[in-house]
Amino acid sequence: MSALIKSSLARKVVMALSGLFLVFFLGQHFVINVTSVFAPDTFNTWSHFMGYNPLVQYILQPILIAGVIVHFVMGFVLELQNRAARGVKYVSYKGSANASWISRNMIITGLVVLAFIGLHMYDFWAHEMSYKYIDVKPEDPTRYFEETVHKFEPFWRTIIYIISFVLLALHLLHGFASSFQTMGVNNKYSAAIKLFTKVYAIGIPAGFIFIALYHHFNQIPH
Amino acid sequence: MKLNLKIWRQQDAKSKGKMTDYSLGGVEGDMSFLEMLDILNEQLINKGEEPVVFDHDCREGICGSCSLMINGEPHGPDRMVTTCQLHMRKFNDGDTIVIEPFRAKAFPVIKDLMVDRTSFDRIQQSGGYISVNTSGNTVDANAIPINKHAADEAMDAATCIGCGACVAACKNASAMLFTSAKVSQFALLPQGQVEATERVQNMVRQMDLEGFGNCTNTGACEIECPKGISLENIARLNREYYSANLKG
Amino acid sequence: MGILDSKVPSGPLAEKWTSYKDHIELVNPANKRNIDIIVVGTGLAGGAAAATLAELGYNVKTFCYQDSPRRAHSIAAQGGINAAKNYQGDGDSNYRLFYDTVKGGDYRSREANVYRLAEVSANIIDQCVAQGVPFAREYGGLLDNRSFGGVLVSRTFYAKGQTGQQLLLGAYSAMNRQINRGKIQSHTRHEMMDLVKVDGKARGIIARNLVTGEIERHSAHAVVLATGGYGNVFFLSTNAMGSNVMAAWRAHRKGAFFANPCYTQIHPTCIPVSGDHQSKLTLMSESLRNDGRIWVPKRKEDAVAIQEGKLKPLQLKEEDRDYYLERRYPAFGNLVPRDVASRAAKERCDAGFGVNKTGEAVYLDFTSAIQRYGKEQALTQGLHNADDKEVTKLGKAVIEAKYGNLFQMYEKIVDENPYETPMMIYPAVHYTMGGLWVDYNLQTTVEGCYAAGEANFSDHGANRLGASALMQGLADGYFVLPYTIGDYLSNDIRTGPIATDSPEFDTAEKEVKARLDKLMGGKGLHSVDSYHKKLGKIMWNKCGMSRNAKELQEAIDEISALRADFWENVKIPGIADGMNQELEKAGRVADFLELGELFAKDALTRNESCGGHFREEYQTPEGEAMRDDENFKFASAWEYKGEPKDAVLHKEELVYENIELKTRSYK
């Protein structure tokens, strides 16, 4: 067991598992958000639940944050190790001949997504924290929809979100399928799994983009 | 045709190397890439200069000696060939060709384009075998029937020639394809399953010790492998490794 | 018997090996730990021997010039490995494999050795399967077999077209297990420069570290040479670039007799030379002759037009083609043995009927096979009205399934599509049956110095059958040497470690260094390769597929002159105490320049035609080989006496008690 923790394969599996967890979270996040488009009341109810349920707040939320940190830190460690493994750099290296840009640049797409998460946390999570714990305002199960829609009022924020989602899609296009390979999944379902990961990797970010655009163009008065 | 060659020259492991330019005429399409280098070397020798050192032996794509990073790709732009099987008709008159050694911390340069790939041997020595005495006093070869599909898959994995193109191509200089080919060959055969647990643990440990990078599933190795070793082997290695460690 | 004692055990043929094993001396395990063995070469024979000896408990040191034992040239063997398993139930037996091998060798091999080879062959397959060698299998999960030339049974086991690779990786893995246990010390990128004898016994070697240039002394109680053949004396061959005769030749100079140097196998189906830049030749598997028809144009003017590129082979009508093998050998047609097919191709090309720009190629044509298979497929698929196009398509698919990888290899090298236009092929040097003379124990005439695999002369006579080289290499390494060496070493249990600071090692090292200095001190006029190419041309033109006394004598003189020129004028840039590939080549070529002359001398002495050795003076009116059993039923073993011209011939009379000598005929 201890060998497992020290080995390169263990580091890979940590990346894969934390990645899969984040992918799952992303799906759940999307399901809640998409209700904001056609059922604002449901959106409010679910958002309130997520914001005040102790299980979500004190157990799931820390796990999620830990997941992001682990995925990021491990990704960075791997990147450094991998760069060191080359030693002397090639004068001419034609990476595009044998591997996609996406798969070779996970660190770039990953860093953009990480920056986006920072903005996103500032936008929503920081706001929630100050609402709940600093200003200690009363619970209001109906405020979420309106707050969300107003966030997308500025054009710049909508654009940043869209760009980030595109990069997230790129990150997922390689990462999601890759995590199955890392977990050793390679059987008659592999083709189907690969297709599913592609649909998911494009579909979910596209859905988020749709939500952002929808609210940007369907503002409600303050 | 006439070519501009940019070749890595390095006196020995300790020296600093640099790219050197050569201009070479009289190259014909029927020549293999190594025969083109032979001509360059003949010219250098006649000028009293030291010829370019590179590994090569069988010149028919099976010994795995030849290497070379050619214009940024191991074994050059053609697929499913080694450098010795690459022919100059793949290039055009006036082309500039950049020739470098395979680069990895675990493949230190010996001289010019020759690198030390004994790290691969050490991975094999750590567990790439079945512990059976060579006395011949084993069971009859047909005593254990083996599913043809499994035997063929084992053979596909076993065709690895140990050239190191996978490491050279991988942006992380990972040796997963190489290691997985041997692990797969034995994992697919009943004879190999007895020691499967120790084998995969020992080989992965050695692979890490040698300083190869981590696999990030870019798939470059599979594309550049002159023998077409499949990425499926890496998935199998991963499976074998987890189950070996979970078992204890 | 002369001074050559073959040490063949007495008793009936089939019981010799068993009774031998029952009566040899053994070394107890505790004593084995105190005994060192050097194995030079890590191909099938060397790798197998090293692994087995280490397993038994001896301390083994291996040496190879490659960067890994896995790259020895055994790896390039394509077709398969013979074994008398009789899994097909087609009447195979140890005796039949023995008989086929002796007959295939044109009755120039030693009966007892060949029988032992046949006897242990079945065990090789068991052993390799246990090691995880992925042989081809049938759907029932049992091992598959294919047929090879010159025999009437299916006894060839194979792993796709890479049997040699898989068997070598098997031996390499067995070595790795012992390296991991510390029982084998593997010295890669090392070349044996000389054999060291102490009190008449082989007690070590001088090796050069090819990376640092350092000259090293290594001692042992016995030395095994498994360093392969010397086909590269021809410069162009199917051997690897580094394949060389150095180790064997150094041992020869120290007293090991060199046997039958003129027996060379020239393989009929190789890709022709494309120009002066060519560095090596590529084999196209013998299996292609099952379906391909070999031809040249009937009229010389057509041949000339083809050579000049004015005519394409497909434009030549059926009646204008000369299917010369079918014409000359109606019974065997395109499937005559290798030596016969090669000579016939040469005869046509020499007469001016060759079909590439140099006039040194013949066609191997699959058109009729494509049509035949196509029609067969159309019938079985119920396509009664299939047009020509459809038939051709179906036929090509069958050919692709059978030979796809070979066709692809051909296309990569020649840049022509062999499905559309006939392949061009020409014979090339492939294997050398000659080598160090060894007795039944595989010991050379130097006590304690053994030779195994292609490096010895033992089992193939004057011509080797397909798929038998792998068998011999592994048999020698896994199953023969471990017994015979043990018997010898049983006398060495009290010897203790062999010192490397003895005067014998001093002298040997001094000689090696002096030789290197002499090479480096050449006047620097011509490169090593230029000499090697010149030697190759002499060998190919005068000692190649057919030989005659006049040209052989010329070859002797020319090689001797070339050798003198070489030592005076060779040019080697760089330094001796560092990596220097030119120096490595020079040492090898220097030995080829001696061997080549002995080769010609041996060929000149053997006034008969047998197997791969064809003397123009000794042929029937139809141009077939004429063996002379009365005067030449012996193995030639040459003793070194300074210059090759002074070498002394010793004869080992070959005794045939179990086989009746016959003339091979394929008409």
Which of C137, C481, C528 to mutate to probe the B interface, most B CBs <10 Å?
C137
Q: What's residue A187's pLDDT?
A: 85
Mean pLDDT of C270-286: 90
- Whether C132 and B191 lie within 8 Å, measured CB to CB: yes
Across the interface, whether the CB atoms of B51 and C573 are under 8 A apart is answered yes
Instruction: Name the β-bridge partners of B18.
Output: B9
State whether C282 and B118 contact (CB < 8 Å): no
Tell whether the torsion through CA atoms of C546, C550, C553 and C558 is positive or negative: negative
How confident is the model at residue C542, as a pLDDT? Answer: 96
- Give pLDDT, residue C624: 87
Mean local confidence (pLDDT), C154-173: 94
Strand spans (E) along C226-380: 258-259, 264-270, 293-297, 321-322, 362-365
pLDDT digits (tens, 9 = 90+) for A135-152: 999 999 999 999 999 999
Nearest CB to C571 within list B45, B131, B139: B45
Residues 462 through 491 of chain C touching chain B, CB cutoff 8 Å: 478-479
Say what the pLDDT of residue A222 is: 80
Question: Taking residues C638-661, what's their average pLDDT?
Answer: 96
Tokens of C246: 């150095």
Closest chain A C-alpha to B173 CA, distance in angstroms:
6
Reported as a single tens digit per residue, the pLDDT across C341-392 is 999 999 999 999 999 998 999 999 999 999 999 999 999 999 888 889 999 9
Copy the structure tokens of residue C117.
């080879």
Q: Does the CB of B189 have a partner CB in chain C at under 8 Å?
A: yes
Q: Confirm or reject contact between B51 and chain C (CB < 8 A).
A: yes
- Nearest residue on chain B to A101, judged by CA atoms? B218
Instruction: Give the pLDDT band (50/70/90) at residue B248.
Output: low
Closest CA to C588 of C227, C263, C69: C227
CATH 1.20.1300.10 fits A2-79+101-217, yes or no: yes
Q: Where are the domains of chain A?
A: 2-79+101-217
pLDDT at site A5: 61
Q: Which chains touch C (3 or more CB pairs under 8 A)?
A: B
Distances (CA, A) of B26 to B20, B40, B47, C433: 20, 10, 17, 38
Judged by CB atoms closer than 8 Å, whether chains meet at C176 and B159 is answered as: no
Cα angle: C589, vertex C590, C591; to 5 degrees: 90
Percent of chain A with pLDDT strictly greater than 90: 91
| For C48, nearest residue in chain B (alpha carbons) | B134
A179, A21 Cβ separation under 8 angstroms: no
Closest by CA position to A106, among listed A30, A199, A177: A177
Q: Residue B46: its chain C contacts at CB < 8 A? A: 527, 571
**Could you give the 3-state DSSP secondary structure of residue C122?**
helix
Q: Given CATH 1.20.58.100, say whether it is the number of domain C503-630.
A: yes
Q: Measured between CB atoms, does B198 come within 8 Å of chain C?
A: no
- C295 - beta bridge partners? C363
- C455 backbone φψ class: left, alpha, beta (φ>0; ψ -120 to 50): alpha
Q: Return mean pLDDT, chain C.
A: 95
At A1, the pLDDT band (50, 70, 90 cuts) reads very low
Which chain B residue is nearest to residue C189, measuring alpha carbons?
Answer: B116
Confidence at residue A92, expressed as pLDDT on a 0 to 100 scale: 97
Q: What is the pLDDT of residue C79?
A: 80
Residue from the list C180, C188, C277 with its beta carbon closest to the beta carbon of B125: C180
Chain B residues with beta carbon closer than 8 angstroms to that of A14: none
CA distance A139 to chain B (A): 46
Closest residue on chain B to A104 (Cα): B218
Tell me which of 3.40.50.1980, 3.10.150.10, 3.40.350.10, 3.50.50.60 is the CATH number of domain C13-263+433-492.
Answer: 3.50.50.60
Helices assigned H by DSSP within C181-286? 246-253
Reported as a single tens digit per residue, the pLDDT across C209-246 is 999 999 999 999 999 999 999 999 999 999 999 999 99
Cβ atoms B236, A190 nearer than 8 A = no
The 10 Å Cβ neighbour count of residue B49 is 12
Give me the DSSP letters along C497-545.
PPPSSSHHHHHHHHHHHHHHHHHHTS---EEHHHHHHHHHHHHHHHSSS
- What integer pLDDT is reported at residue A195 of this predicted model? 97
Distance to chain C for B172, nearest Cα, Å: 24
Q: Parse chain C into domains and list their residue ranges.
A: 13-263+433-492, 268-428, 503-630
Does ipTM surpass 0.90 in this model? yes
Residue closest to C610 by CA, chosen among C587, C589, C588, C632: C632
Residue C416 in contact with partner chain B when CB distance is under 8 A? no
Amino acid identity for residue C104 in this structure: G
Nearest residue in chain A measured CA to CA from B77: A97
Q: Has residue B20 got a pLDDT over 90? A: yes
Q: Which CATH class for the C268-428 domain?
A: alpha beta
Q: How does residue C337 score in pLDDT terms, banded at 50, 70 and 90?
A: confident
Tokens of A207: 């859905």
Pair of tokens at residue A17: 């598992």
pLDDT at C1: 43
- All domains in chain B, ordered by first residue: 3-110 (3.10.20.30), 117-247 (1.10.1060.10)
B147 close to C (CB below 8 A):
yes
- Interface B-C, measured as beta-carbon pairs within 8 A, has a size of 215
Q: Any chain B CB within 8 A of the CB of C382?
A: no
Mark yes or no for CB contact A93/B72 under 8 Å: yes
Chain B residues within 8 A of A9 when measuring between CB atoms: 204, 238, 241-242
Task: Give the pLDDT score at C2.
Answer: 61
Please indicate whether residue C338 is annotated as part of the active site.
Answer: yes
User: What distance in Å separates the CA atoms of residue A187 and residue C590, rounded to the nearest whole number?
Assistant: 57
- Binned at pLDDT 50, 70 and 90, residue A3 comes out as low
pLDDT tens for each residue of C613-630: 999 999 999 888 999 999
- Chain C contact for B201, CB < 8 A? no
Distance from CA of B31 to the nearest CA of A (A): 24
* Mean pLDDT, residues C149-165 taken together: 87
C63 versus C274: the higher-pLDDT residue is C63
The chains found to touch B (3+ Cβ pairs under 8 angstroms) are A, C
What number is the average pLDDT over the span B35-48? 96
C37 touches chain B (CB under 8 A): no
For residue C99, the 8-state DSSP code is H
Partners of B3 in the beta sheet? B24
- Same topology between domain C13-263+433-492 and domain C503-630: no
- In contact, C242 and C544? CB cutoff 8 Å: no
Q: Do chains A and B touch (3 or more CB pairs under 8 A)?
A: yes
| B38–C contact, CB cutoff 8 A | yes
- The model's pTM is 0.96
Probe site for chain C from B42, B134, B191 (most C CB atoms < 10 A): B134
User: With bands split at pLDDT 50, 70 and 90, how would you rate the model's confidence at A219?
Assistant: very high
Q: Is B126 on the interface with C (CB under 8 A)?
A: yes
Chain-chain contact of C127 with B136 (C-beta, under 8 angstroms): yes
Encoding tokens for residue C262? 């003129």
Q: Which residues of A touch B (CB under 8 A)?
A: 1, 3-4, 6-9, 11-13, 78, 81-82, 84-95, 97-100, 103-104, 106, 174, 178, 181-186
Beta strands C201-209 and B3-9 are unpaired
Q: Has residue C151 got a pLDDT over 80?
A: no
Alpha carbon C465 to chain centroid, angstroms: 11
Residues in chain C closer than 8 A to B178 (CB atoms): none
Which residue of chain B comes nearest to C525, CA vs CA?
B46
C-alpha angle with apex C664: C81 to C328, nearest 5 degrees?
100
Of B71, B108, B235, the CB nearest to A92: B71
Distance CA B4, CA B21 (A): 7
Selecting among C338, C343, C464, C615, the annotated active-site residue is C338
